[in-house]
Amino acid sequence: MKKLSIFFLFIFLNSYVSYSSDDWGKTGHRATGEIAQKYLSRKAKKEINKLLDGHSIAYVSNFADEIKSDKKYREYNPWHYVNFPFESTYEKHPKSKKGDLIVGINTCVEVLKNQSASKEDKVFHLKMLIHFMGDLHQPLHIGMAEDRGGNDIEVKWFNKGTNLHTVWDSKMIDTFGMTYTEIAANEKELTNEELKTIQKGTVIDWMYDSRELCKNLYKTIEPGKKLRYRYSYDYMNKVLEQLQKGGIRLASLLNEIYS
Ligand code: ADE
Ligand code: ZN
Ligand code: ZN
Could you read off the pLDDT of 193-204 as tens digits, one per residue? 999 999 999 999
**At 255, is the pLDDT very low, low, confident or very high (cuts 50, 70, 90)?**
very high
Q: Assess whether the C-beta atom of 149 lies below 6 angstroms from ligand 1.
A: yes
Q: How far is CA 27 from CA 18, 30, 156, 181, 184, in A?
A: 17, 5, 21, 9, 10
pTM: 0.92
The boundaries of the domain holding residue 105 are 14-257
Q: What is the pLDDT of residues 30-87, one digit of tens each?
A: 999 999 999 999 999 999 999 999 999 999 999 999 999 999 999 999 999 999 999 9
- Residues near ion ligand 3 (CB < 5 Å) are 23, 80, 135
* pLDDT greater than 90 at residue 4: no
Share above pLDDT 70 across residues of the chain, in percent, rounded to a whole number? 92
Number of Cβ within a 10 Å radius of residue 214: 19
Count of the separate structural domains present in the chain:
1
Q: What is the mean pLDDT of residues 232-259?
A: 98
Q: 81 CB under 6 A from ligand 1? A: yes
Residue 8 in any domain: the answer is no
Q: Which residues contact 48 (CB under 8 A, 6 or more apart)?
A: 40, 57, 126, 254, 258
Question: For residue 31, is it within any domain?
Answer: yes
> How far apart, in Å, are the Cα atoms of 124 and each of 10, 28, 65, 128, 151?
32, 20, 13, 6, 28
Report the percentage of the chain scoring pLDDT > 90: 91
148, 152, 215: which to mutate for ligand 1, most atoms within 8 A of CB?
A: 148
Determine how many CB atoms are found less than 10 A away from the CB of residue 30: 25
What local confidence, expressed as pLDDT, does residue 15 receive? 46
- What rounded mean pLDDT belongs to the chain? 94
- For the Cβ of 25 lying below 6 angstroms from any atom of ligand 1, the answer is no
First to last CA, the chain: 64
* Residue 1, in any domain of the structure: no
Model confidence at 8: pLDDT above 70: no
Residue 5 located in a structural domain: no
CB-ligand 1 contact for 131 (6 Å cutoff): no
Q: What is the mean pLDDT of residues 168-184?
A: 98
Considering the domain boundaries, does residue 7 fall inside one? no
For residue 217, the tally of other CB atoms under 10 A from its CB is 18
- Band (pLDDT 50/70/90 cuts) for residue 3 is low
At residue 189, the pLDDT reads 98
Per-residue confidence (pLDDT) for residue 23, from 0 to 100: 86
- pLDDT reading at 213 higher than 70: yes
Is residue 2 one of the residues assigned to a domain?
A: no
Q: Is residue 184 part of a domain?
A: yes
Q: In this structure, what CATH number is given to the domain that contains residue 33?
A: 1.10.575.10
Q: What is the pLDDT of residue 1?
A: 52
Residue 162, pLDDT above cutoff 90? yes
Q: How far is CA 95 from CA 78, 100, 137, in A?
A: 12, 8, 20
> Residue 222 domain-assigned?
yes
Cα 55 to averaged position of ligand 2 atoms, centre (Å): 24
- Whether pLDDT at 219 is above 60: yes
For 84-131, write each residue's pLDDT tens digit.
999 999 999 999 999 999 999 999 999 999 999 999 999 999 999 999
Q: What is the pLDDT of residue 154?
A: 98
Shortest-distance atom of ligand 1 to CA 149: 6
Tell whether ligand 1 has an atom less than 6 A from the beta carbon of residue 148: yes
